[in-house]
Structure 1
Amino acid sequence: MRRQVLFVGLICVTFLVNAQEEKTIDLDEVTIQASSIIRKKDRQLIFPSKDQVRRSMDGLDLTRRMSLPRLWVDPNTKSISMANGNVQLRINGVLASSLEVAALSPEDIKRVEYHDNPGLRYGEGVDIVLDYITIKRTSGGNLGVDLSHQLNTFWRADYIYGKYNRGRSEFSLSSFANGHRYKEAWQDRTEIFHTPDGTFQRTQEGISGRDYEMYWTTTANYNYTKDDDYFLNAKLNFYYYDYPHNYSSALLRNSESKMTTDLIDNNKSLNTRPSLDLYYFRKLPRKQSLAVNVVGTYSNTDSRHTYREELESIPLTDIYTKVDGKRYYPLVIGIPCAM
C-alpha cells in the first residue's frame, strides 16, 4: 500500500489547567532517599521520580518516561501496547483504558504496580498488568485539551480530558477523536501461483482513489471511595468507528494472457458500541473482601464489501458481502476473596 499525502504544516495546541489543594510540610536539613523499584513476589512497585513527574504532561507521558520493560507508548493514538502479548490497564485496581490513564495528572500518580506474570484473577490471555495507584483528592480538579490538525488536508488527533474531586466523590471525562482523509491511495501487488500445470504470475497496478477513516471514543466516570473499606465505580463508555469509503481500483495482468482485467474492491464499515461498567468493592470481616462487577454492552455493526473483476465490462468475479449485526453483552460477576 502506498499513500501520497503532502503535509505542509501541523498545528498543535495544548491547554492545561490544574487546581488542586495540597499540603506541604518542609523538613529542614533532612534528605530521604529510597529505591524507585520495590520487588515483591507477584509484582514490582515502580515509583516515578520528581524529574519524570515534572517533565510529564499527563499519565501516558509519565508512563513513557518511566521506560517500563516490554511496553510501547504511542502518544499519537494514546495507547499502551507490547510487541507480542496483551496489556491490561487498571487505576486503583479498576479496569481502565489508555485514555483514562492519559487523563491522570502526573502529580496524582503515587506508583505503578507492574505485573509481568499476572494470575488468573486478571483474566486469560493477559501478559502484563499495569495498576496505577493514585492520590485521593478531596477537592479541586484539572482540565486538559490537546488539539492536533494538518493545514492542507483532513487529519486530526484531538484529546479532551478533565477531572473534578469533591469529598469522597470524583467525576472524570475523557474523549479522543482521530481521523484522516487521503485523496490519493492505491495498492500495487505481485502474486505468483503454483499449479499442477505450471507457474504463472499476476500483477496488480493500483489506480489512485480516496481513503477516509474516523475514530472516536469517550469515557465518563464516577467513583466514590471511603478509606480502603468501600469503593464504588460507575463508567459509561462510547466507541464510534466510521470507515465510509475505501476504494481500491486496479488493473490486473496475467503472465499467461495479454488481456487486462479491471478490479474494483470497495469497503464500507460503521461500528458503534456504548457500554456501562459498574464495579463495587467492600472489605469483609476475617480478612475477606467482596468484589462485584456488572458490565452491559450494546454493539451495532454495519459492514459492506464489494469485490468485482471485469474483462471488457463482462463480470468474471462478483462478490458482495454485508454484515449487519446487533449484539448485547450482559455480564455479572460477584467474587468473595481473601485479602
Structure 2
Amino acid sequence: MERTAFSPASCFSLLALVLLGTRFVQGFIFWGGATRRLIYNFHEVNGADVAVKLDFESAKFVANKLTHALPGTLWIQSPLEWTLQYPDLIIASVWIWTLAELAVGLGLILGLATRLAALVSIGLNVSLMLIFGWMGSTCLDEWTMAVSGLAMSSAVFLAGGGTWSLDNLIGRSGWAERNGWTAWVFSGPLPVGSVRTAALVLAAVAVVFTVGSYHLLFGAVVSPQHARVSFHSHDIALSKAAVAADGAVTFDAYVDAGPDTGAAYVIAARLVDASGTTVAAWDGAVLAALPTTAIRNVYPYVWASHFKTERVGFSGQTGARATITLPPPEGATAEGAPHELILEAIDGTTWKAKVVP
C-alpha cells in the first residue's frame, strides 16, 4: 500500500479541518454571549431603544450575575466585591468583557487570528470557572461549560485555523512567512518540538483544571461528594447582632448559598436567652412592615441582589448583603438577657447569630 507523505503544512491543515466544528461552536458561544447584550436584547425605555443588559439603570444589567455568583467564587471574591463598589469600574468591566467575547467569537468563527483568539478563550473560560463554576442546578452547568471550553480552545490553539479560515488568506500574502511569530497568533505550521511541548502543557493544564476545580467545588475525587457552596438550598450568614437600649435589634445578613433563581424567605425572628427561652419576637407581619430605611443593602443598584420586604416577612436573593434593623418588640419579656438571634425561613430552616454584648 502506498503511503501518503504529509508536509507540516498539510498536517496542520488536516488537524484544523478536524476541529472546524469545534472552532465554530466555541466561537459561537462567545459570539452569542456578546450579541445577546449588544444586538438582540433591546427594549423601549422612555421612547428609545436601549440594550437593557448593558444599561446600568436596568434591572437586567448583566452585572447582576456577579452579585449572584459572589458567594461561591474561587479566590477572587475580594476583588469582585471591591469592583462592585464603583459604578464606573463595573460598567468598564462589563464592556471590556463583552468586547472580548465579541472579538474571540468572531475570531474563532472566521478563523481570524485563530490562535490568539483561542488563547484568550482559554483565559475567559478560566475566569468563568473562578466566578460561576459553582453554579448550576442540573449537570453542574457552569462547571461543565468552563472545562469543556478550556479543552476545546486548547485544541484549536494547537491546530490553528487551517484552510477554512481568514488566516489562510493572510498567509498567502507571504507576510506571515517572513515573520515567524505570526504563526503563534494566526495559523499555519509550528515547530514540531514546540507543538509537542505545548500539547503536553495544555493537556496537563486541562487535567488539573478539570479534576482540581471539580474537587474544590464538589468533592467526589479524594473525598465524599459535597458542595463547597450549595446551589440547591439557601443559607443566610448572620453576624454583628446587637440589641439597642430600646430593644431594637441590628444585624448583618448575607445570603451566602443557594440558587440565583430564587430567594431565602424569612417569616419570623426572635431573641432567646441562654436557656433558649424567647425574650422577644417579630412575626411575618411585623417583618413585612419594615420601612425601607430598616434594610440597608450593601449594593444599592437596581440590578443587584437585595434583601427586601414581602407580603409576609422579608427575602434575600443569593449574594445579597445588608444591615437590617428590627424595631423594638412588643410584649418582650423582662426576664433573661438576649443571647442569640434566630431567623426562621418559610420552610422551617433557621439561621442564628450570637448577640454582641
TM-score tier, shorter chain, comes to: under 0.3
The structure whose residues are more often strand, as a share, is 1
Highest relative contact order (Cα 8 Å, sep 6+), 1 or 2?
A: 2
